[in-house]
Amino acid sequence: MAPTPDELIAPSAPILLFDSGVGGLTVLDALRRHLPQAPVIYVADNAGLPYGTKSEAQIAARVSGLLGRMTERLRPRLVCIACNTASTIALSSVREVLEVPIVGTVPAIKPAAAMTQTGVIGLLGTQATIRQAYVDRLEHEFAAGKRLLRHGAPELVEAAEAKLRGLPVDSRLIARAVAGLRDQQGGDRIDTVVLACTHFPLLVQELGEAFGPGVRFIDGADGIARRIAFLTQGQEFSRNTEDLALFTSGDGIAGLEPALHQRGLMRIAVF
Ligand code: DGL
């Protein structure tokens, strides 16, 4: 679909960032660094969280339906699916039905393959993400000759949601996720870990301590923000304080207010 001519885009037209929960805030942080003036509406499908334990059919139906409704209602200039699970499953079908540019989230296997010295890369994602053919294709294309060890870690989604609420992170959840990679054959040689779920960069400090020295982490947030900045080049942005907002499908935002306010998300509404 051809992008809408820039002159037809109202300066107040938002960028819609979508995730199942608060993970996409890691993408919002990067986006705010690249495009501080952009009006952004963050849409969280809290009522559907977690996506990672759902089937492909459930996720595809939920994401297409929800983004269809929200695009009609909010008229965004661009939609970013700031969720690896939703992107690896539903990106192409959403692109077929929505008439706005869509930016997806791709597990950062390509840069990880360029970074690794030992040739062993770990990938932490949701259970739904790590089994996708999309990930097989990335591995085949960019990490041939390397070893990619995958682990589905739903416990990290739970830990990240808790951390953002200011609750203590249960170190057993972190240890379980780390063991899920380290205990695989060759896991002791992992030196690069792809955080293939937008929730996980929120736990990079805890993960770094648990993996120990010599392990580097990579995620897609900055690359996504750069892609959005590129696609909106030449467009005008204007926003007032009301133009950074969070829409949630459920009441799962209790305790998140300080983290949301800190990011300028002052207007919070249930859709
Ligand atoms: N943040 C989502 C992702 O990037 C997953 C969280 C969930 O399981 O809903 O995959």
Fold of 12-105+222-270: Rossmann fold (3.40.50)
Confidence of residue 4 (pLDDT cuts 50, 70, 90): low
Does 51 show up as a binding residue in the annotation?
Answer: yes
3-state secondary structure (DSSP) of residue 103: strand
Confidence of residue 253 (pLDDT cuts 50, 70, 90): confident
pLDDT digits (tens, 9 = 90+) for 31-55: 999 999 999 999 999 999 999 999 9
104 CA from centroid of ligand 1 (Å): 13
pLDDT digits (tens, 9 = 90+) for 114-169: 999 999 999 999 999 999 999 999 999 999 999 999 999 999 999 999 999 999 99
pLDDT digits (tens, 9 = 90+) for 156-208: 999 999 999 999 999 999 999 999 999 999 999 999 999 999 999 999 999 99
Instruction: Give yes or no for residue 71 having a pLDDT over 70.
Output: yes
Give residue limits of the domains in the chain. Answer: 12-105+222-270, 109-219
pLDDT digits (tens, 9 = 90+) for 222-251: 999 999 999 999 999 987 766 689 999 987
Residues with CB under 6 A from ligand 1: 19-21, 23, 49-52, 83-85, 126, 129, 157, 197-199
Q: Is 83 a catalytic residue?
A: yes
Q: What is the pLDDT of residue 250?
A: 85
Two domains, one topology: 12-105+222-270 and 109-219: yes
Catalytic residue among 70, 83, 159, 218: 83
**Cβ pair 52, 126 in contact under 8 A:** yes
- CATH node for 109-219: 3.40.50.1860
- Annotate 177-204 with DSSP letters as a single string: HHHHHHTSTTGGG--EEEE-STTGGGGH
| CA distance to 39, 68, 85, 150, 180, per residue, from 239 (Å) | 5, 24, 30, 41, 44
Q: What is the CB-side half-sphere exposure of residue 88 using CA atoms within 13 A?
A: 27
Q: What is the pLDDT of residue 50?
A: 96
Q: What is the pLDDT of residue 7?
A: 60
Amino acid letter, residue 16? L
- Can you give the pTM of this predicted structure? 0.95
Report the atom number in ligand 1 closest to the C-alpha of 48: 9
Does 85 show up as a binding residue in the annotation?
Answer: yes
184 CA from centroid of ligand 1 (Å): 23
Confidence of residue 2 (pLDDT cuts 50, 70, 90): very low
153 CA from centroid of ligand 1 (Å): 10
Does 198 show up as a binding residue in the annotation?
Answer: yes
Best mutation site among 17, 18, 19 for ligand 1 pocket (most ligand atoms within 8 Å of CB):
19
Q: Is 80 a catalytic residue?
A: no
